[in-house]
Amino acid sequence: MSDAPFSSAAIIGSGSFGTALALLLAPKLEQVLLIGRDADVAETINREHRNPRYLGDIPLPENILAGTENPAAIGHPLIVFAVPTSVTRAVAEELAKAGLPEHAILLSCAKGIERSTGERMSEILREIFPNNPIAALSGPNHAEELARGLASCAVIGSDDFDLAVRLQEAITLPHFRIYTSDDLAGMELGGAVKNVFAIAAGIAHGLGLGDNAVAALVTRALAEMTRLGTELGGRAETFNGLSGMGDLLVTCYSNHSRNHRVGFALGEGKSLDEAVSVLGMVAEGVPNTLSIYDAARKAHVRTPIIDAVHSILYGGKPAAQAMQELLTRDPRPEPE
C-alpha cells in the first residue's frame, strides 16, 4: 500500500468514469467505496468484482466495494463526485443533510455548468459546503483508457495549493500523471465548453466534411473557448493546457467521446432523440449546450460554434445548414 495522504475514498457515481477512478485509487488506498443507484450493479461488484454495466470486462480489485446510499460516503476522507452535472447539487444537498464533516475533501469530476445559476460544479459545492476543502479534476481522460492503464495525464485544480498537491500525490500513478493548477475557473470552464465543441466535431465527421474542415473547426473552437472562458473568470493560458486544448482534442476526435458520437449521429441525419437513445448514456454536452449558450449570451461573447450547435439541438436547424452557415460567415482576421 502506498503512502497516500488518506486511507480511503468514496466515489459517488458508478458509471464508466467513476469505475475508472476507483481503479486508479484502489492501488493506493485501503478501501474505495463506489456508490451508484442500481442495487443489482452494486451486488455484482461486491460478489464478482466487476461492474456489469460499465467496463464489464475489467476486473476490479477486492478493495473496491459498492453501495447505493450516498450518505455512506460520510466517514471517508475523500469524496469524489462522478455524477452528471444535473444531479451534483442534489447529491451535495443530500450529503449536507446527512452531516458531512467539514474536514472531508470534495473532488468534482463533472464537466459542465448549472443552467439555472450558471455556476460551475466547484461553486455549487462551495455554496453548500463553505468550509470543506474542494478541488476539481479535469483533462483528456476517457474512462475506457484510464481503466485499462493506458498512459494519461490530468490536472487537479484548487484554490488551496496544498490540497491540490495532496490529491496529486494520492492519484498519480506511473501511467497517470497529474499536474496542478490554481485556476479552478479556467479548468472547469474548459471541461464544460469542450463538450459542445465535441458535438460540433461529431456533426462535421458525420456529414463527411473531411479532416481539413474538422481541424479548422477544432482550432476555432479553442479560440472560442478561450474567449468565453476568460470572460467568465478563467486565465487564457489554462485553455492551452490539459483541461482546455488537451480535453478538446481528445473529445473531438475519439470514438470514446459520447458527445462526439451524438454529434456524428446528428450529422448522419438522426434526430436528437434518436442519437441520445442509441448512445444509451449521458452525453453532458447535450444539456450543457443550453447552459453554456445562456452563459455566453449573458456575457455578450461571440460564440458562433456554440450558437450553431444550439440551433441544431434546440432550434430544429438541419445540421448541414448550420455547418454551411459557419463556413460562410463574414471573413475576419485570425486570431479573432
The binding site for NAD(+) comprises: 13-18, 143, 258
Annotated binding site: 13-18, 37, 54, 111, 139, 143, 194, 247, 257-259, 282, 284
Contact 179, 153 (CB under 8 A): yes
Q: In what order do the strands lie in the sheet with 152-157?
A: 64-67, 31-35, 8-12, 78-81, 105-108, 134-138, 152-157, 176-181
Annotated binding site for sn-glycerol 3-phosphate: 111, 139, 194, 247, 257-259
DSSP class of 73: G
Nine-digit cell string for 98:
446527512
Secondary structure (3-state) at 109: coil
What residue type is assigned to position 174 of the chain? P
Residue 194 is among the residues annotated as catalytic for this protein: yes
Measured CA to CA, the distance from residue 203 to residue 332 in angstroms comes to 24
Q: Residue 40: in which H helix or E strand, if any?
A: helix 39-48
Torsion angle, CA of 236/191/80/134, rounded to 10 degrees? Answer: 30
Instruction: Spot the catalytic one: 97, 194, 298, 317.
Output: 194
Nine-digit cell string for 106:
470534495
Nine-digit cell string for 41:
450493479
Closest of 26, 8, 17 to residue 173, by C-alpha: 26
Query: How many residues appear in the chain?
Result: 336
Contact 308, 133 (CB under 8 A): no
The residues, any chain, with a CB within 8 Å of residue 333's CB and separated by 6 or more, are none
Cell 470514446 -> residue:
256
Nine-digit cell string for 12:
459517488
Annotated binding site for substrate: 111, 258-259
Active site residues: 194
